[in-house]
Amino acid sequence: MQKVLSKLIELQHLDLQLNEVRARLAIFPKKTAEVEARVTAAKADVTQNKAAQLTAVKDRSKYELDVQQHKDRVRKYRDQTSQVKTNEAYKALQHEVQMAEEEIAKAEDRLLEQMVAGEEYDRRIKAAEKLLKEVEEVARVQRKIIEDDKSAAEKSLAELTAERAAIVADIPENLLDHYDRISKKHNGISLAEIRDEKCSACGMKLRPHVFQEMQRRDNEELFHCETCTRIIYLPEPAQSPASVAAAPQDDHPLQ
């Protein structure tokens, strides 16, 4: 039983590492999405400013056309003033000229506004394109880091999975099933070490006779915490310096 218990302890150690690796792998899609979202936002900023600039150019063309049309009206009315024969008709034409000139002034003001806006959009586009270039360069580096980290995590996952398969092969099926049920109940922690005669997972103190039974070298029983139901075990006793010094040493005669 001690040998199987050692395998279970080793299995839990591997499972905790596997859970950590899987958690790392689960984060990579989010990290990648965040990188791509920043690039997409920077591209959208460039696109929006270019669209606004295009609208300003179209409006400017419209106001330029308005100015020209009103100037043509002014010339037409002034040409007609030399042909009228009454004072009333002359005044009417002068009024039309005045109205057209006012429209010219308004159109020229709007045209000037669009020209200023166009210059501002030019500035914004250059700034947005510069930022996009910087964001894309950072994204390129981040993608490489993410891909390298992901590859390393996938390699670790494959290696740990292979190690787990080898360990599982030495554990009886019914005991493995028991381990899995406890693991699912306690977030992957099926076994707990006994420290100061207490379960290190929940802190429950062991009954004296249970602790004594666990200390017996010939014990073949699998013990569980009465509170959290985890499989409990005693830590391996540390080898004292005195026992290490007393251990027999191989003789190495000089050649």
111-166 pLDDT, tens digit per residue, is: 777 777 778 788 889 999 999 999 999 999 999 999 999 999 999 999 999 999 99
The alpha-carbon radius of gyration of the chain (Å, integer) is 42
Q: How far apart are CA 157 and CA 135, in angstroms?
A: 32
Output the six-digit token pair for 235: 């830590």
For 150-230, strand residue ranges (E) read: 191-195, 198-199, 223-224
Return the amino acid letter for 167.
I
pLDDT of residue 237: 63
What's 222's DSSP letter? P
pLDDT of residue 1: 65
Q: How far apart are CA 228 and CA 226, in angstroms?
A: 6
> Looking at domain 25-168, which CATH architecture does it have?
Orthogonal Bundle (1.10)
pLDDT reading at 173 higher than 90: yes
The domains of the chain are located at 25-168, 173-238
Q: How far apart are CA 101 and CA 60, in angstroms?
A: 19
Q: How confident is the model over 99-108, as pLDDT tens digits?
A: 877 777 887 7
Asked whether the beta carbons of 232 and 223 are under 8 A apart, the reply is: yes
Q: How far apart are CA 60 and CA 108, in angstroms?
A: 10
Give the predicted TM-score (pTM) of the model. Answer: 0.66
Element (H, E) at 231: strand 231-233
Nearest to 119 by CA among 202, 180, 45, 60: 60
Report the share of the chain in percent with pLDDT over 90. 57
Element (H, E) at 41: helix 2-81
pLDDT of residue 243: 42
Q: How confident is the model over 54-78, as pLDDT tens digits?
A: 887 777 777 777 777 777 777 777 7
